[in-house]
Structure 1
Amino acid sequence: MKSTKETSSTKEQLLQTAMELMLAKGFTAVTVDEICEKTGVTKGGFFHYFESKEDLGKAVLEYYWQSQVQMVQEMPFHSIKDPLKRLHGFLDSFADRARDPQITKSCLIGNFSQELSSTYPGIRTLCDRKFSLFADMLKQILDEAKQMYAPRSRFDTRGLAEHFIAIFQGALILSKAKQDTKVIEENIRHFRQYVETLFKRGRK
Protein backbone atom coordinates (compact mmCIF):
# COMPACT_ATOMS: atom_id res chain seq x y z
CA MET A 1 0.00 0.00 0.00
CA LYS A 2 1.30 3.45 -0.93
CA SER A 3 1.96 5.95 1.82
CA THR A 4 0.00 9.22 1.97
CA LYS A 5 3.14 11.06 0.81
CA GLU A 6 3.57 8.77 -2.20
CA THR A 7 -0.12 9.09 -3.08
CA SER A 8 0.06 12.87 -2.91
CA SER A 9 3.23 12.91 -5.02
CA THR A 10 1.69 10.69 -7.72
CA LYS A 11 -1.47 12.78 -7.89
CA GLU A 12 0.50 16.01 -8.11
CA GLN A 13 2.65 14.52 -10.87
CA LEU A 14 -0.50 13.68 -12.83
CA LEU A 15 -1.92 17.16 -12.26
CA GLN A 16 1.32 18.93 -13.21
CA THR A 17 1.73 16.87 -16.38
CA ALA A 18 -1.92 17.28 -17.37
CA MET A 19 -1.73 21.02 -16.76
CA GLU A 20 1.36 21.43 -18.95
CA LEU A 21 -0.15 19.35 -21.75
CA MET A 22 -3.52 21.11 -21.62
CA LEU A 23 -1.89 24.55 -21.63
CA ALA A 24 -0.03 23.53 -24.78
CA LYS A 25 -2.68 21.50 -26.61
CA GLY A 26 -6.06 22.10 -25.00
CA PHE A 27 -8.32 19.81 -22.98
CA THR A 28 -9.81 17.76 -25.81
CA ALA A 29 -6.53 16.98 -27.58
CA VAL A 30 -4.90 15.56 -24.45
CA THR A 31 -5.72 11.92 -23.73
CA VAL A 32 -5.56 9.94 -20.52
CA ASP A 33 -3.18 7.53 -22.27
CA GLU A 34 -0.80 10.40 -23.05
CA ILE A 35 -0.81 11.60 -19.44
CA CYS A 36 -0.19 8.06 -18.18
CA GLU A 37 2.64 7.52 -20.65
CA LYS A 38 4.41 10.73 -19.63
CA THR A 39 4.03 10.11 -15.90
CA GLY A 40 4.60 6.36 -15.90
CA VAL A 41 1.30 5.84 -14.09
CA THR A 42 -0.94 2.99 -15.21
CA LYS A 43 -4.43 3.72 -16.48
CA GLY A 44 -5.82 1.92 -13.46
CA GLY A 45 -3.67 4.13 -11.27
CA PHE A 46 -4.98 7.22 -13.04
CA PHE A 47 -8.61 6.28 -12.38
CA HIS A 48 -7.75 5.67 -8.75
CA TYR A 49 -7.27 9.45 -8.46
CA PHE A 50 -9.79 10.72 -11.02
CA GLU A 51 -13.18 9.24 -11.85
CA SER A 52 -13.22 10.68 -15.37
CA LYS A 53 -11.42 13.08 -17.67
CA GLU A 54 -13.89 15.78 -16.63
CA ASP A 55 -12.98 15.12 -13.00
CA LEU A 56 -9.33 15.52 -14.01
CA GLY A 57 -10.14 18.78 -15.81
CA LYS A 58 -11.72 20.25 -12.69
CA ALA A 59 -8.78 19.15 -10.54
CA VAL A 60 -6.26 20.57 -13.03
CA LEU A 61 -8.14 23.86 -13.10
CA GLU A 62 -8.02 24.06 -9.30
CA TYR A 63 -4.34 23.11 -9.33
CA TYR A 64 -3.62 25.82 -11.91
CA TRP A 65 -5.63 28.39 -9.96
CA GLN A 66 -3.68 27.73 -6.76
CA SER A 67 -0.41 28.19 -8.66
CA GLN A 68 -1.65 31.54 -9.99
CA VAL A 69 -2.78 32.70 -6.55
CA GLN A 70 0.67 31.89 -5.19
CA MET A 71 2.26 33.75 -8.10
CA VAL A 72 0.18 36.88 -7.41
CA GLN A 73 0.86 36.67 -3.67
CA GLU A 74 4.60 36.70 -4.38
CA MET A 75 4.42 39.82 -6.55
CA PRO A 76 6.14 42.85 -4.94
CA PHE A 77 3.21 45.28 -5.28
CA HIS A 78 1.59 44.06 -2.03
CA SER A 79 4.03 46.11 0.08
CA ILE A 80 2.98 49.41 -1.55
CA LYS A 81 0.75 51.37 0.85
CA ASP A 82 -0.80 53.83 -1.61
CA PRO A 83 -3.61 51.86 -3.32
CA LEU A 84 -3.30 53.66 -6.66
CA LYS A 85 0.43 53.00 -6.77
CA ARG A 86 -0.30 49.43 -5.66
CA LEU A 87 -2.67 49.10 -8.62
CA HIS A 88 0.10 50.35 -10.91
CA GLY A 89 2.42 47.79 -9.33
CA PHE A 90 -0.15 45.07 -9.95
CA LEU A 91 -0.36 45.98 -13.63
CA ASP A 92 3.41 46.38 -13.94
CA SER A 93 3.90 42.89 -12.49
CA PHE A 94 1.68 41.39 -15.18
CA ALA A 95 3.48 43.41 -17.86
CA ASP A 96 6.81 42.09 -16.54
CA ARG A 97 5.53 38.53 -16.87
CA ALA A 98 4.51 39.26 -20.45
CA ARG A 99 8.12 40.27 -21.18
CA ASP A 100 9.62 37.19 -19.52
CA PRO A 101 10.43 34.59 -22.24
CA GLN A 102 10.47 31.79 -19.66
CA ILE A 103 6.78 32.22 -18.79
CA THR A 104 4.07 30.56 -20.86
CA LYS A 105 1.73 33.20 -22.31
CA SER A 106 -1.47 31.29 -21.79
CA CYS A 107 -4.25 31.00 -19.22
CA LEU A 108 -5.86 27.64 -18.53
CA ILE A 109 -9.01 29.29 -17.17
CA GLY A 110 -9.46 31.32 -20.34
CA ASN A 111 -8.58 28.37 -22.56
CA PHE A 112 -11.07 26.06 -20.84
CA SER A 113 -13.76 28.77 -20.96
CA GLN A 114 -13.41 29.02 -24.73
CA GLU A 115 -13.05 25.32 -25.44
CA LEU A 116 -15.43 23.70 -22.97
CA SER A 117 -18.18 26.18 -22.03
CA SER A 118 -20.85 24.44 -24.13
CA THR A 119 -19.76 20.83 -23.56
CA TYR A 120 -18.70 20.72 -19.90
CA PRO A 121 -21.00 23.00 -17.87
CA GLY A 122 -19.34 21.95 -14.62
CA ILE A 123 -15.95 23.12 -15.83
CA ARG A 124 -17.50 26.31 -17.25
CA THR A 125 -19.00 27.09 -13.84
CA LEU A 126 -15.63 26.54 -12.19
CA CYS A 127 -13.95 28.87 -14.71
CA ASP A 128 -16.54 31.55 -13.98
CA ARG A 129 -15.90 31.15 -10.25
CA LYS A 130 -12.14 31.58 -10.68
CA PHE A 131 -12.56 34.67 -12.85
CA SER A 132 -14.88 36.04 -10.18
CA LEU A 133 -12.29 35.44 -7.45
CA PHE A 134 -9.63 37.19 -9.52
CA ALA A 135 -11.99 40.13 -10.07
CA ASP A 136 -12.57 40.29 -6.30
CA MET A 137 -8.82 40.52 -5.77
CA LEU A 138 -8.46 43.46 -8.14
CA LYS A 139 -11.70 45.10 -6.95
CA GLN A 140 -10.29 45.34 -3.43
CA ILE A 141 -7.38 47.47 -4.67
CA LEU A 142 -9.70 49.61 -6.79
CA ASP A 143 -12.06 50.14 -3.85
CA GLU A 144 -9.20 51.37 -1.69
CA ALA A 145 -8.02 53.72 -4.44
CA LYS A 146 -11.54 55.05 -4.88
CA GLN A 147 -11.80 55.78 -1.17
CA MET A 148 -8.49 57.64 -1.09
CA TYR A 149 -8.77 59.55 -4.37
CA ALA A 150 -11.73 61.43 -5.79
CA PRO A 151 -12.65 59.76 -9.07
CA ARG A 152 -13.06 61.99 -12.11
CA SER A 153 -16.06 60.00 -13.19
CA ARG A 154 -18.39 57.54 -11.55
CA PHE A 155 -17.48 53.93 -12.21
CA ASP A 156 -18.14 50.48 -10.82
CA THR A 157 -14.98 48.90 -9.42
CA ARG A 158 -16.29 45.39 -10.01
CA GLY A 159 -17.00 46.20 -13.64
CA LEU A 160 -13.55 47.75 -14.02
CA ALA A 161 -11.91 44.64 -12.55
CA GLU A 162 -13.79 42.45 -15.03
CA HIS A 163 -12.80 44.88 -17.79
CA PHE A 164 -9.15 44.15 -17.01
CA ILE A 165 -9.82 40.40 -17.18
CA ALA A 166 -11.46 40.85 -20.59
CA ILE A 167 -8.53 42.94 -21.84
CA PHE A 168 -5.92 40.53 -20.51
CA GLN A 169 -7.64 37.41 -21.86
CA GLY A 170 -8.19 39.07 -25.23
CA ALA A 171 -4.55 40.14 -25.33
CA LEU A 172 -3.45 36.55 -24.72
CA ILE A 173 -5.52 35.38 -27.70
CA LEU A 174 -4.31 38.21 -29.94
CA SER A 175 -0.68 37.59 -28.98
CA LYS A 176 -1.05 33.95 -30.09
CA ALA A 177 -2.54 34.99 -33.43
CA LYS A 178 0.20 37.56 -34.01
CA GLN A 179 2.94 35.47 -32.36
CA ASP A 180 3.95 38.64 -30.56
CA THR A 181 3.87 38.90 -26.76
CA LYS A 182 4.26 42.68 -26.93
CA VAL A 183 0.50 42.76 -27.57
CA ILE A 184 -0.08 41.76 -23.94
CA GLU A 185 2.23 44.44 -22.59
CA GLU A 186 0.67 47.11 -24.82
CA ASN A 187 -2.88 46.28 -23.74
CA ILE A 188 -1.93 46.38 -20.07
CA ARG A 189 -0.34 49.79 -20.69
CA HIS A 190 -3.53 51.06 -22.34
CA PHE A 191 -5.59 49.85 -19.38
CA ARG A 192 -3.23 51.59 -16.98
CA GLN A 193 -3.57 54.85 -18.92
CA TYR A 194 -7.35 54.50 -18.85
CA VAL A 195 -7.34 53.97 -15.07
CA GLU A 196 -5.25 57.13 -14.69
CA THR A 197 -8.09 59.14 -16.23
CA LEU A 198 -10.54 57.90 -13.58
CA PHE A 199 -8.71 59.36 -10.60
CA LYS A 200 -7.80 62.88 -9.63
CA ARG A 201 -4.28 63.52 -8.44
CA GLY A 202 -5.37 64.93 -5.11
CA ARG A 203 -6.84 62.89 -2.30
CA LYS A 204 -10.37 63.32 -0.99
Structure 2
Amino acid sequence: MTVVPTTSGNTDTRQGIIDAAQRIMAHKGYAAVGINEVLAEAKVPKGSFYHYFSSKDAFGEAVMKSYFHEYLADMDRLLKPGGRSAAERLMAYWRQWHDTQSLDDCNGRCLAVKLGAEVADLSESMRLVLKEGTTAIVDRVEQVIDQGLRDGSLTIAWEARATAQVLYDMWLGASVLAKIHRSSAPMDTTMTATRRLLGQ
Protein backbone atom coordinates (compact mmCIF):
# COMPACT_ATOMS: atom_id res chain seq x y z
CA MET A 1 0.00 0.00 0.00
CA THR A 2 1.15 3.51 -0.65
CA VAL A 3 1.64 6.23 1.92
CA VAL A 4 -0.02 9.54 1.11
CA PRO A 5 2.20 12.57 0.54
CA THR A 6 3.08 14.46 3.70
CA THR A 7 1.13 17.64 4.44
CA SER A 8 0.82 19.60 7.66
CA GLY A 9 -2.47 17.89 8.54
CA ASN A 10 -1.13 14.46 7.66
CA THR A 11 2.00 15.11 9.72
CA ASP A 12 -0.07 16.10 12.77
CA THR A 13 -2.28 13.02 12.44
CA ARG A 14 0.70 10.74 11.90
CA GLN A 15 2.43 12.14 14.99
CA GLY A 16 -0.79 11.77 16.97
CA ILE A 17 -0.86 8.06 16.09
CA ILE A 18 2.79 7.71 17.10
CA ASP A 19 2.22 9.52 20.41
CA ALA A 20 -0.76 7.30 21.20
CA ALA A 21 1.27 4.20 20.37
CA GLN A 22 4.09 5.28 22.69
CA ARG A 23 1.69 5.62 25.60
CA ILE A 24 0.07 2.25 24.98
CA MET A 25 3.26 0.34 24.20
CA ALA A 26 4.88 1.65 27.38
CA HIS A 27 2.34 -0.49 29.24
CA LYS A 28 1.61 -3.41 26.91
CA GLY A 29 4.70 -3.90 24.76
CA TYR A 30 4.73 -4.06 20.97
CA ALA A 31 3.22 -7.38 19.90
CA ALA A 32 0.21 -7.07 22.23
CA VAL A 33 -0.85 -3.72 20.79
CA GLY A 34 -3.38 -3.80 17.97
CA ILE A 35 -3.47 -1.12 15.30
CA ASN A 36 -7.16 -0.44 15.94
CA GLU A 37 -6.43 0.17 19.62
CA VAL A 38 -3.85 2.78 18.69
CA LEU A 39 -6.17 4.44 16.17
CA ALA A 40 -8.96 4.59 18.75
CA GLU A 41 -6.61 6.19 21.30
CA ALA A 42 -5.45 8.70 18.67
CA LYS A 43 -9.06 9.33 17.61
CA VAL A 44 -8.24 8.48 14.00
CA PRO A 45 -10.78 6.56 11.86
CA LYS A 46 -10.22 2.84 11.49
CA GLY A 47 -8.89 1.84 8.14
CA SER A 48 -6.75 4.95 7.73
CA PHE A 49 -3.60 3.41 9.22
CA TYR A 50 -2.05 2.58 5.86
CA HIS A 51 -2.44 6.17 4.72
CA TYR A 52 0.35 6.98 7.20
CA PHE A 53 2.43 3.79 7.48
CA SER A 54 3.24 1.18 4.88
CA SER A 55 3.30 -1.71 7.39
CA LYS A 56 3.25 -2.46 11.12
CA ASP A 57 7.06 -2.76 11.02
CA ALA A 58 7.33 0.69 9.43
CA PHE A 59 4.95 1.95 12.10
CA GLY A 60 7.05 0.40 14.89
CA GLU A 61 10.19 1.90 13.39
CA ALA A 62 8.55 5.34 13.28
CA VAL A 63 7.45 5.01 16.92
CA MET A 64 10.97 4.15 18.05
CA LYS A 65 12.56 6.93 15.97
CA SER A 66 10.16 9.47 17.45
CA TYR A 67 10.85 8.15 20.95
CA PHE A 68 14.62 8.49 20.59
CA HIS A 69 14.33 11.90 18.93
CA GLU A 70 12.39 13.21 21.94
CA TYR A 71 14.54 11.36 24.46
CA LEU A 72 17.83 12.64 23.05
CA ALA A 73 16.53 16.20 22.79
CA ASP A 74 15.50 16.05 26.45
CA MET A 75 18.87 14.55 27.35
CA ASP A 76 20.69 17.34 25.49
CA ARG A 77 18.72 19.96 27.43
CA LEU A 78 19.50 18.28 30.73
CA LEU A 79 23.21 17.84 29.98
CA LYS A 80 23.76 21.35 28.59
CA PRO A 81 26.54 23.07 30.64
CA GLY A 82 24.67 26.16 31.87
CA GLY A 83 27.22 26.91 34.60
CA ARG A 84 27.05 23.45 36.20
CA SER A 85 29.91 20.98 36.46
CA ALA A 86 29.85 17.85 34.35
CA ALA A 87 29.29 15.79 37.50
CA GLU A 88 26.23 17.83 38.44
CA ARG A 89 24.75 17.48 34.95
CA LEU A 90 25.43 13.76 34.69
CA MET A 91 24.04 12.99 38.13
CA ALA A 92 20.94 15.02 37.26
CA TYR A 93 20.46 12.72 34.26
CA TRP A 94 20.66 9.58 36.40
CA ARG A 95 18.27 11.10 38.96
CA GLN A 96 15.79 11.83 36.18
CA TRP A 97 16.17 8.25 34.92
CA HIS A 98 15.53 6.97 38.45
CA ASP A 99 12.44 9.15 38.86
CA THR A 100 10.86 8.46 35.46
CA GLN A 101 11.81 4.85 34.72
CA SER A 102 10.84 3.44 38.10
CA LEU A 103 7.26 4.71 37.90
CA ASP A 104 4.43 2.39 36.91
CA ASP A 105 3.18 5.09 34.55
CA CYS A 106 6.23 6.29 32.65
CA ASN A 107 4.08 8.11 30.04
CA GLY A 108 5.90 6.56 27.11
CA ARG A 109 9.35 7.49 28.44
CA CYS A 110 10.54 3.91 28.92
CA LEU A 111 10.16 2.36 25.48
CA ALA A 112 13.81 1.29 25.18
CA VAL A 113 13.38 -0.61 28.44
CA LYS A 114 9.94 -1.98 27.60
CA LEU A 115 10.52 -2.95 23.97
CA GLY A 116 14.26 -3.62 23.75
CA ALA A 117 14.40 -7.39 24.03
CA GLU A 118 10.98 -7.91 22.43
CA VAL A 119 11.42 -6.04 19.17
CA ALA A 120 15.09 -6.93 18.70
CA ASP A 121 13.89 -10.44 17.87
CA LEU A 122 10.81 -9.38 15.91
CA SER A 123 12.06 -6.73 13.53
CA GLU A 124 15.51 -6.05 12.15
CA SER A 125 14.61 -2.48 11.22
CA MET A 126 13.39 -1.76 14.76
CA ARG A 127 16.47 -3.44 16.22
CA LEU A 128 18.66 -1.10 14.20
CA VAL A 129 16.71 1.94 15.42
CA LEU A 130 17.19 0.72 19.00
CA LYS A 131 20.89 0.16 18.39
CA GLU A 132 21.33 3.64 16.90
CA GLY A 133 19.31 5.29 19.67
CA THR A 134 21.00 3.55 22.57
CA THR A 135 24.42 4.19 21.05
CA ALA A 136 23.56 7.89 20.84
CA ILE A 137 22.69 7.87 24.55
CA VAL A 138 26.02 6.27 25.44
CA ASP A 139 27.80 8.80 23.18
CA ARG A 140 26.32 11.66 25.21
CA VAL A 141 27.21 10.08 28.54
CA GLU A 142 30.77 9.58 27.29
CA GLN A 143 31.01 13.24 26.24
CA VAL A 144 29.94 14.45 29.67
CA ILE A 145 32.39 12.07 31.37
CA ASP A 146 35.17 13.50 29.20
CA GLN A 147 34.07 17.00 30.24
CA GLY A 148 34.09 15.91 33.88
CA LEU A 149 37.62 14.61 33.61
CA ARG A 150 38.67 17.97 32.19
CA ASP A 151 36.87 20.09 34.79
CA GLY A 152 37.95 17.79 37.63
CA SER A 153 34.44 17.00 38.82
CA LEU A 154 34.62 13.30 37.87
CA THR A 155 37.17 10.57 38.51
CA ILE A 156 36.95 7.15 36.84
CA ALA A 157 39.00 3.96 36.85
CA TRP A 158 38.36 3.03 33.19
CA GLU A 159 38.34 4.94 29.95
CA ALA A 160 35.38 7.24 29.37
CA ARG A 161 33.69 5.07 26.71
CA ALA A 162 33.84 1.90 28.77
CA THR A 163 32.51 3.75 31.82
CA ALA A 164 29.64 5.25 29.82
CA GLN A 165 28.71 1.85 28.40
CA VAL A 166 28.82 0.13 31.79
CA LEU A 167 26.67 2.87 33.33
CA TYR A 168 24.05 2.60 30.59
CA ASP A 169 24.05 -1.18 30.80
CA MET A 170 23.58 -1.01 34.58
CA TRP A 171 20.69 1.44 34.38
CA LEU A 172 18.96 -0.49 31.61
CA GLY A 173 19.23 -3.70 33.62
CA ALA A 174 18.08 -1.98 36.80
CA SER A 175 15.03 -0.63 34.99
CA VAL A 176 14.03 -4.13 33.91
CA LEU A 177 14.59 -5.52 37.41
CA ALA A 178 12.58 -2.69 38.95
CA LYS A 179 9.63 -3.79 36.81
CA ILE A 180 10.14 -7.47 37.68
CA HIS A 181 10.33 -6.78 41.44
CA ARG A 182 7.85 -3.89 41.44
CA SER A 183 10.41 -2.04 43.51
CA SER A 184 12.81 0.86 43.07
CA ALA A 185 15.51 -1.04 45.00
CA PRO A 186 17.47 -2.05 41.85
CA MET A 187 17.50 1.62 40.78
CA ASP A 188 18.63 2.72 44.24
CA THR A 189 21.49 0.22 44.18
CA THR A 190 22.48 1.35 40.70
CA MET A 191 22.50 4.99 41.82
CA THR A 192 24.93 4.08 44.60
CA ALA A 193 27.13 2.15 42.16
CA THR A 194 27.00 5.07 39.70
CA ARG A 195 28.26 7.49 42.35
CA ARG A 196 31.16 5.18 43.12
CA LEU A 197 32.06 4.66 39.48
CA LEU A 198 32.12 8.43 38.93
CA GLY A 199 33.90 9.33 42.16
CA GLN A 200 30.90 11.14 43.63
**TM-score under structure 1 normalisation?**
0.82
State the Cα RMSD in Å.
2.9
Gaps of 5+ in 2: none
Gaps of 5+ in 1: 198-204
CA distance in 2, matches of 1:77, 1:189: 24
CA distance in 1, matches of 2:196, 2:130: 28
Q: 2:38 aligns with which of 17, 35, 38?
A: 35
Tell me whether 1:20 sits opposite 2:11 in the alignment.
no
**Which residue of structure 2 aligns with residue 158 of structure 1?**
161
User: What percent identity do the matched residue pairs reach?
Assistant: 20
CA distance in 2, matches of 1:177, 1:28: 19
**How much has 1:16 moved relative to structure 2?**
0.7
**Which residue of structure 1 aligns with residue 186 of structure 2?**
183
**How much has 1:135 moved relative to structure 2?**
0.6
Q: Report which stretch shifted further, 177-186 or 51-60.
A: 177-186
Aligned positions of 1:120-159 closer than 5 A: 120-149=123-152, 154-159=157-162
Amino acid at match of 1:8: T
**Given that residues 105 and 181 in structure 1 are in contact (C-alpha distance below 8 angstroms), is that contact kept between their aligned partners in structure 2?**
no
Q: 2:119 aligns with which of 116, 129, 138?
A: 116
CA distance in 2, matches of 1:153, 1:17: 41
CA distance in 2, matches of 1:91, 1:60: 24
Amino acid at match of 1:72: M
Amino acid at match of 2:159: D
CA distance in 2, matches of 1:154, 1:186: 19
Q: Report which stretch shifted further, 154-163 or 170-179.
A: 154-163
Q: Report which stretch shifted further, 61-70 or 40-49.
A: 40-49
CA distance in 2, matches of 1:185, 1:90: 14
CA deviations over 1:153-199 (Å, ceiling 9, x no partner): 651211111111111111111111111134323312321122217xx
Q: 1:70 aligns with which of 43, 66, 73?
A: 73
Aligned residues: 197
**Which residue of structure 1 aligns with residue 175 of structure 2?**
172
Q: Report which stretch shifted further, 167-176 or 80-89.
A: 80-89
Greater Rg by CA: 1
**TM-score under structure 2 normalisation?**
0.83
CA deviations over 1:133-152 (Å, ceiling 9, x no partner): 00111100111222344987
Tell me whether 1:94 sits opposite 2:97 in the alignment.
yes
